[in-house]
């Protein structure tokens, strides 16, 4: 399907979604977010897709929600449209792993979109920030909640209150991103990580995603019980037998998602 604000390629079991509003540094407008929700939902349903990657351009992953689109809106408009609520909820319903490949600016909604992905690989050019305070607003799609969980209260407060940007090195040190790579290698490294994920059992991959996400939603005791139960459950799959037999027979496993 052709999109106005996205370029989507599916190859080698990976759906690569590129945000594509170069004139606005990939600012997230309603069209882009609704197309993104659509593309992600389609990739989640597509049996050929085993991992999803979201990226932007060399200059910007996304420089935030579209300020031009929002500037004249009032409370009633924002509230009645539940601005960005349905689109971001759609993203959270995706069961396949989503990797964010971030180069350049990931600001405001751009930083929040990256944090909604399952993990972030950053180019050494990446700059993260929640500068909404400079616009007289607060983050609106998870920045106050997710950034705090990633980097802790002190740094999250600093970022949200001063509006300063965090470079890739600080983002890795603080736990916001999983790894930093040279900008010229960003896509190669990200696609290699996605290809590794695509090789695994899709059942196990989905269980891992659910279990790690659960750690944000519940108490440690409940989370540990959930993990133990899904660990037990996986012993009823053919992929567990295949994975363990392959190890013992010193060969690569051939998972069949069963």
User: Contact between 143 and ligand CAA (CB under 6 A)?
Assistant: yes
> Site size for ligand CAA, by CB under 6 A?
21
Whose Cβ is closer to ligand CAA: residue 26's or residue 190's?
Answer: 26
Catalytic residue flag (residue 112)? yes
Q: Are 194 and 14 contacting, i.e. CB atoms less than 8 angstroms apart?
A: yes
- Can 129 be counted among the known catalytic residues? no
CB of residue 135 to ligand CAA, shortest distance in Å: 6
Stretch that binds ligand CAA, among 30-38, 41-49, 95-103, 128-136 (CB under 6 A): 128-136
φ, ψ at 62 (rounded to 5°): -170, 130
> Nearest approach, Cβ of 41 to ligand CAA (angstroms)?
21
Q: Which is nearer to ligand CAA, 30 or 240 (CB)?
A: 30
Residue from 36, 64, 87, 207 in contact with ligand CAA (CB under 6 A): 64
Contact in structure between 183 and 124 (CB atoms under 8 Å):
yes
Is 109 marked active-site? yes
Q: Does 25 bind ligand CAA (CB under 6 A)?
A: yes
Q: Applying CB under 6 A, does 15 fall inside the site for ligand CAA?
A: no
Determine which one of 43, 87, 123, 132 is catalytic: 132
Q: Which stretch binds ligand CAA (CB under 6 A): 105-113, 144-152, 170-178, 227-235?
A: 105-113
Tell me which residues touch ligand CAA (CB under 6 A).
Answer: 24-25, 27, 63-68, 105, 107-109, 112, 131-132, 135, 139-141, 143
Catalytic residues: 65, 109, 112, 132
């Amino acid at each position: 399907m052709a999109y106005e604000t996205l370029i989507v390629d599916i190859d080698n079991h990976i759906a690569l979604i590129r945000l594509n509003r170069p004139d606005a540094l990939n600012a997230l407008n309603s069209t882009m977010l609704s197309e993104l929700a659509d593309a992600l939902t389609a990739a989640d349903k597509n049996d050929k897709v085993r991992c999803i990657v979201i990226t932007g351009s060399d200059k910007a992953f996304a420089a935030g929600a579209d300020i031009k689109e929002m500037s004249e809106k009032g409370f009633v408009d924002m509230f009645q449209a539940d601005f960005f609520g349905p689109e971001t909820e759609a993203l959270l319903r995706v069961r396949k792993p989503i990797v964010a490949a971030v180069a350049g600016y990931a600001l405001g909604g751009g930083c929040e979109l990256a944090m909604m992905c399952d993990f972030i690989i950053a180019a050494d050019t990446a700059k993260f920030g929640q500068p909404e305070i400079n616009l007289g607003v607060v983050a609106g799609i998870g920045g106050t909640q997710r950034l705090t969980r990633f980097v802790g209260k002190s740094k999250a407060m600093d970022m949200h209150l001063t509006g300063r940007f965090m470079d890739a090195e600080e983002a890795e040190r603080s736990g916001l991103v999983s790894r930093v790579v040279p900008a010229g290698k960003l896509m190669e490294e990200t696609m290699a990580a996605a290809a590794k994920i695509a090789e695994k059992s899709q059942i196990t991959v989905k269980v891992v995603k659910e279990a790690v996400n659960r750690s944000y939603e519940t108490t440690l005791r409940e989370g540990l019980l959930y993990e133990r139960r899904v660990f037990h459950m996986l012993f009823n799959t053919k992929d567990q037998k295949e994975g363990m037999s392959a190890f013992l027979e010193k060969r690569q496993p051939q998972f069949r998602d069963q």
